[in-house]
Amino acid sequence: MDLLTLHHLTKTFGGLTAVKEVSFTVEKGAVVGLIGPNGAGKTTVFNLITGHYRPNQGDMVFDGVSLSDLRTHRIIALGIARTFQNIRLFQRLTALENVLAGRHYRMHSGILSAMLRLPAQRREEQEATDRALQELEFVGLGSQALTMARNLAYGDQRRLEIARALATEPRLLILDEPAGGMNEQETEALIGLIGRIQQRGVTILLIEHDMRLVMRACEKLVVLEYGGKIAEGPPEQVRHDPKVIEAYLGAEDEP
């Protein structure tokens, strides 16, 4: 069963076409990689799915609901969460406070309840804290809950972003270059984390340039070049596709 479907998705910026008639599906429970050379349009696709951009043409359907005209907070409420290529944490807040910021999307108490510290509000606040601590433990940061985000190692900051996204209870988790800047050991740990997230029943769509991670973690790859899709299929099939090889390595000059 497909959880996310893109239909002929197109996005232009002035005279530049960043994404051109891209169509693909993400099956429920799968890990799908969106890959391609720099400037291929991958992050633009993510920004369209998450409501940061509106498509010029085409549609995106998540579990039967069109995302094309929805604002970001509505998309999060449907069950889509993301991380970013450039880390976007609250650097002067603790790891726990950062995850609580993500959990806020699932809290229901209003301002009056918070001001009066009503029992229901206190109970919800405690439940949110408990869930945030569980997510930190899940990504391997349980012992650093009270550490300022800015004091965490780079790889830990990446995992903190994932914990914050998981706190929103996503059905689809979108990861934008999650291994960017990580060393080999951190990347290995990330591959394991992606597998554990999938075991929770969360569908994953990711952009990544580390082909070791992509080949090991993903069940399907979608390849973009110059904004258009050039290949789609299992990793072993895609890696031997002549169009993909040419896109990454360049065509040989004619003699």
Question: What is the per-residue pLDDT across 5-17, written as a single tens digit (0 to 9) for each?
Answer: 999 999 999 989 9
Q: What is the pLDDT of residue 111?
A: 46
Nearest-5° angle of CA 197, CA 202, CA 207? 80
Nearest-angstrom CA–CA distance, 19 and 228:
6
Q: What is the pLDDT of residue 112?
A: 42
The dihedral over CA atoms of 230, 235, 237, 242, expressed in degrees to the nearest 10, equals 40
Q: pTM of the full predicted structure?
A: 0.89
Q: What is the pLDDT of residues 114-127, one digit of tens each?
A: 445 556 667 778 88
CA distance 114 to 111: 5
Per-residue exposure over 148-187, b if at least 16 CB sit within 10 Å of its own CB, e if not:
bbeebeebbbbbbbbbbbbbbebbbbbbbbbbbebeeebb
Q: What is the pLDDT of residue 150?
A: 96
pLDDT at 252: 43
Query: Residue 189: what pLDDT?
Result: 94
Reading the chain (255 residues) residue by residue, the pLDDT tens digits are 899 999 999 999 998 999 999 999 999 999 999 999 989 999 999 999 999 999 999 999 999 999 999 999 899 999 999 999 888 999 999 999 999 988 876 655 544 454 455 566 677 788 889 999 999 999 999 999 999 999 999 999 999 999 999 999 999 999 999 998 899 999 999 999 999 999 999 999 999 989 889 999 999 999 999 999 999 999 999 999 999 998 876 644 433
Q: How far apart are the first and last CA of the chain?
A: 49
What domains are defined for the chain?
A: 1-79+170-255 (3.40.50.300), 94-168 (no CATH)
Report which of 49, 52, 127 is spatially closest to residue 88, judged by C-alpha positions. Answer: 52
Write down the mean pLDDT value for the chain: 90
